[in-house]
Structure 1
Amino acid sequence: MRLGKKWIAGLLALILIVSIVAGGCAATQSNQDTADKENSQQVTEFKPLSTTGKKVVAEYNGGKVTEGELNRYINIIAFLDPQLGLMMSSMKDKQNQLRAELAKEYAARQYMVSKVKDDPKYDKEADQTMSDIENGLKNAPQAEGSKAPKNLADAIKGKGFTKEELQQFFVDYHKVNEYYDEQMKGDKYDWVKAAHILIAVGDGQNQQPKRSDADAKKRAEEVEKKLAAGGDFAKLAKQYSDDPGSKDNGGVIEGSVDQFVPEFSKACKTLPLNTVSDPVKTSYGYHIIKVLDRQQKPIADAPDDVKAQKREEIYNNLVKSDLKFKSLLPA
């Protein structure tokens, strides 16, 4: 059962790491013979790893990671996201690489925790998170013939960690959030509000118009001329735009300027306010753009995807500079 909580999405930023490693397996997987493919259809259940090992598997600035600590971390992750657990158990040829990346993520996590002062609020936040998980487990739909766990203790039985260890995991999780928040304090991001009319290039499939590049450019230039002659942007957007998400609201879109494709993003950064652009070509087709507003806003108020991008930047900088991580696992 997968827990679809927003905080889990933040917690499991390391899914990106697993995805990258998994991507490296894609070519190998595609070359398996028929028998291997038939066997691969049988889902390999994640088996909890032993947490008794005292061997040091990694070192970092201010601490060490033992085999038992790493395995416990992996066990908890696999419990919180069973699909991720299945992925990890199926990546036999990438186990060492994956474990090294997870050890690095765990070391970075512990380093961040060491920089945050203890406070009873983290215990309270962890209690709430544990309660949320327990309620989610009880209320989640169950497979035929299976019963919902009586409580959280019942759910984690045999999963490779105790309830107290899971509690500490979430105390640390909330401390890591605090670390990121402190690092981002005062930071801003580039926000833009713009109106656009998209003239798409397409082959007529998947609700795309059937239109060549040349025809799209010609149509975009036609729209540009109508705007130059005093045409109403909102009315022309409704009439011409192939962007279903904005054509009925004047073509208006807003958000982080970096969320858009590069050519569109560049136009939003450089175009004078309330000036209609020449047709801007992107992978979608041709855009007529008018920037309505442009600001730097506090990243604390930013959408989750913008914060996640900033967190990734902080994490990468930490790994490159202060963490001094060294894996002792086999290559």
Structure 2
Amino acid sequence: MSKLFLSEPETSKTAIGVLLLNLGTPVAPTPQAVRTYLREFLSDQRVVELPRFLWQLILRGIVLPVRGRKSAHAYSTIWRDSGSPLLTGTQSLTTALATAMPEGVMTYFAMTYGQPSVVKVLQEMKQQGVQYLLVVPLYPQYAGSSTGAALDQVWRVLLRQRTQMAVRSINSFYADSNYIKTLANHIRTYWQQHGRGQCLLLSFHGIPQAQHQAGDDYVEHCTTTTRLLVAELGLKESEYRLAFQSRFGYAPWVGPSTQDLLVQLPQAGINSLDVVCPGFVTDCLETLEEINIRGKADFLVHGGKHFQYIPCMNSEYEWVEILAPLIKQHLQGWL
């Protein structure tokens, strides 16, 4: 058999597979492990849209040596005995979602970068007889650098299958009613237990301005999610802000910037702030370290008095309420 194609297992079973995709994580909070992860992540041209040769010189000569150490320290502040919060959270969600699936539907997860890889998981699904595949990137709002990059990994594997799976994908659910209502209830429950600040900051991961100008729908998706969520919560215009976090490099990114607002809001009289990150399914480096450690420190040192980070809907049961109906809708005709 030609080495171009993946070999096919000998099985008589036929099954439907649901593949959840998340971004990925280093295997350990060490400089070496973080550099390995970042090399794969930042080499994806969906993520950094610069000429490949030039970017690889910058990446390997400057970014990895410097950012590897800094990011390893950041990961060490959130790492748990069970490992990476993003990995364990995605595992828990996959297990819980499996219990809500109809008979004959098998649920798996993979990471766009790192382990478990898309290649290995799709090979396992093929060996288990999966011939109908639904791919679910765990990003409510579509961006080429997140959802697009995740789906690219799947398409690359399918190109090498001699007998390809039938495949469908969910590329966003930013306006899904279950997503909006469940997230609103999650925020209300937090407020009932911990009190409510003057302002709710909705912080989404940012993208470069150039990607937005090239036609990426991400900013519009984030704006729509915000509009629907604040309407569900009954917030006035003065009671919330929308912002974008995680700027990287020197090129312009979409704004307003979360980092800038955390400095500016106390000067505008907002001394008590709640922050929620609607674009993240599970807590991770960007929420636990960037927002709840560094972001909190920035807000307080610039005059803020009270800061609350509202955790992601890490309860796998909340996400099952959102994803299970959505998945079943996209499986129609296969069940």
Q: TM-score, normalised by structure 2?
A: 0.26
Q: TM-score, normalised by structure 1?
A: 0.27
- Give the number of the structure whose alpha-carbon radius of gyration is greater: 1
